[in-house]
Structure 1
Amino acid sequence: MSEMYDVAIVGAGPVGLAAAIACKRAGLTYVVLEKGCVVNAIFEYPTYMTFFTTSPRLEIGEHPFVTLRERPDRREALSYYRLVAEREGLHIEQYTEVTQVHAAPAGFTVEVNRRDGTDGVVEARRVMVATGYYDHPVRLGIPGEDSENVSHYYTEAHPFWGLRVTVIGAGSSAADAALDLWRGGAKVTMVVRAPTLKPTLKYWIRPDLENRIKEGSITAHFNAQVVEIHPEYVLVQRADGTTFELPTHFTFALTGYRPDLSFLSDLNLARHPDACLILDEHYQSSVPGLFVVGSAGFAGKTNQVFIENGRHHAQLAVAEIERQLMATRTAAPLSR
């Protein structure tokens, strides 16, 4: 029979790690289940990315995040979160994917698939989901999207020097990629469904990109969308319905990301019209005992939840879990 934990935390990103630290300090037994590596989303960020926020706002567990500059980069963040996990001795099972969560008499049964391909079960009185959203891109649903010359993630410019690259999207990820590719010697064209760049662009990125478009260094087609992707070109449709072929060696479809909570499908979670989960002030869902912290519960508002506020979600949730478990240690199992 598997061990019964007080809390099973799904996701070892910064918010999941903050939750684990809070559980440890509250004396709760816990396990962190992560389908990739620790802070896998940050690992998937562009190689030379610099964070928008300052290092103190990325700290967890009161561990100082010391950097040479005001805003840390990806490499510094990876190092910081690894060191925190090591110093705290956190119980993390990497490369262990949660495939389904079921309600059980004493709490929840969590089905997992481990690195070696074997299935397993973890039992917990409470479950906290901290999976974020970055590993689930918004798909275009067009022919050629799954081709080898297409990616929903941008890494770095070097492999694309001298090549024609199409960037689909107008948000911060697309803008950052377009500028970095151009500086790396790629011939960049942006295809944007809207009539202009997104208003939420980072304040220092917008003028840079606008100037590059104005001077012709980066080409941009607004009120347009890619409808097919081929090995040597993409088919672009204008707002009036006409189409044209845009020569392209590689395409970055950077159209955003959404949380993937399919492993919770058995629980029938209540949602708002914008697809955000209905959560209480402690980030408990409509299923008693299931908490969703960070951006995972905010499908329609992922641009409003970051590490900075997600880490506080974790603290509030753990405090409520501690209160619930203390009150029910000698009472009946969680009712549903």
Structure 2
Amino acid sequence: MENEKLMDVLIIGAGPIGINCALEAKKNNLSYLIIEKGPIVNSLYNYPSNMKFFSTSEKLELDDIPFISKEAKPSKQEALEYYRRIAVSNDLNIKLFETVIAVDKVNNFKVTTDRGSYKTKNIVVATGFYDIPNKMDVKGEDLSKVTHYYNDAHLYAFQKVAIVGASNSAVDAALEIYRKGGEVSMIIRGEAIGDRVKYWVKPDIENRIKEGSIKAYYNSEIKEISKDKIVINEEGKDISIPNDFVVALTGYRPNFTFLKAMGIKLVGKKQIPSYNEDSMETNVKGIFLAGVICGGEETHKWFIENSRIHAKQILETLSKRSKVTF
């Protein structure tokens, strides 16, 4: 069904930054709608069940609304509750479990979803990057024992588990699975645990590796996965390891196909989207970016605490434009 009403801005993505854009739209008396393909704050919902944020709670706050947590580092569940309550208490205009299929420019924009279509003067893309994992491109990656997402350690108790990666998510998974009785091996492309691993966790994983509780294969990559083993290449030598599960936490990437389909230019090997750093407007007039999607493949550059400002930048720009008369 087509919605004939022309709105000021349509926001794609109901994560924290998308919600913040809606709050700013309300402040500026602009009509808006958020469309989200999953539940509210979909990416956070799919994070590991026991995850704690690197940031303290005040750095995750939106619009000066206090975020009170039990500990200095808030949990996933506390964040879900915080952002949900903001959406409810501010009566935000959100359509959940609705997927954007296409964006067309005819005078204004027409946004087509799997449930209908909408007309809007402007679009904010705040879709994050958590939906598309970086694949290893190896034989056996499509087996049911392989996942690119980690939720809870209980599934892996008493199992032989290979963790691929050495980032925060990989380290957290390795430690949790080890402490639930899993036999953990880490397959690490580099020569050490990642530099950006949380400072209070890094000594823990390094000590578990040093004492032999967790086996780390450095300068290594998986070559093949089969039902009961994996073959890795460690510094030029192939090694076969008995295996029940592979948790490949190799990172994620934005939906570059969607960005390019809208006409947004991607620059360089890291596919950085083209946008104005002051207004967050892309090379396509009327399409703006907000949040981690601005970093292309450099997904570590933007996160909630340093991209909250994007909402104010975008909506102040749109507010000024709406006041221009001819």
Tell me the TM-score normalized by structure 2. Answer: 0.96
Residue aligned with 2:208, SS = helix
Structure 1 position 260 matched with structure 2 position 255: yes
- Aligned residue number for residue 164 of structure 1: 160
- Aligned residue number for residue 21 of structure 2: 19
Show CA shifts across 1:124-173 (max 9, x none): 10000001111211111112212211111111111111110000011111
- 1:98 CA displacement: 0.9
Query: What does residue range 121-160 of structure 1 map to in structure 2 within 5 Å?
Result: 121-160=117-156
- Which stretches of structure 1, 4 residues or longer, exceed 3 Å deviation after superposition? none
Distance of aligned partners of 1:197 and 1:142 in 2 relative to their CA distance in 1, 3 Å threshold: same
Say which of 69, 80, 83 aligns to 1:81: 83
Query: What does residue range 42-61 of structure 1 map to in structure 2 within 5 Å?
Result: 42-61=44-63
Quick one: which amino acid aligns to residue 67 of structure 2? F
Say whether the 8 Å CA contact 2:36–2:98 is kept in structure 1: yes
Q: State which drifts further: 307-316 or 80-89.
A: 307-316
Residue aligned with 1:255, SS = coil
Say whether the 8 Å CA contact 1:12–1:34 is kept in structure 2: yes
- 1:325 CA displacement: 2.3
- Aligned residue number for residue 72 of structure 1: 74
Question: How far apart, in 1, do the equivalents of 2:57 and 2:190 lie?
Answer: 33
- 1:4 CA displacement: 1.3
- 1:266 CA displacement: 2.7
Structure 1: gaps of 5 or more residues? 115-119, 332-336
Residue aligned with 1:304, SS = coil
RMSD: 1.3
Residue aligned with 1:166, SS = strand
- Aligned residue number for residue 233 of structure 1: 229
Say whether the 8 Å CA contact 2:11–2:124 is kept in structure 1: yes
- Aligned residue number for residue 334 of structure 1: none
Query: What does residue range 1-336 of structure 1 map to in structure 2 within 5 Å?
Result: 2=3, 3-105=5-107, 107-114=108-115, 120-240=116-236, 242-273=237-268, 274-280=270-276, 281-327=278-324, 330-331=325-326
Question: How far apart, in 2, do the equivalents of 1:113 and 1:61 lie?
Answer: 31
Question: How far apart, in 2, do the equivalents of 1:62 and 1:195 lie?
Answer: 42
Residue aligned with 2:323, SS = helix
Question: How far apart, in 2, do the equivalents of 1:157 and 1:78 lie?
Answer: 20
Question: How far apart, in 2, do the equivalents of 1:228 and 1:159 lie?
Answer: 23
Show CA shifts across 1:219-278 (max 9, x none): 0101110111111111112232x3121111111000111111422333321232121112
Residue aligned with 1:122, SS = strand
Quick one: which amino acid aligns to residue 228 of structure 2? E
Say whether the 8 Å CA contact 2:254–2:297 is kept in structure 1: no
Say whether the 8 Å CA contact 2:260–2:266 is kept in structure 1: no
Q: Paired residues, what number?
A: 322
Quick one: which amino acid aligns to residue 174 of structure 1? A
Residue aligned with 1:125, SS = strand
Show CA shifts across 1:30-80 (max 9, x none): 110000000011111110111111111111122211112111100111111
Residue aligned with 2:33, SS = strand
Say whether the 8 Å CA contact 1:285–1:291 is kept in structure 2: yes
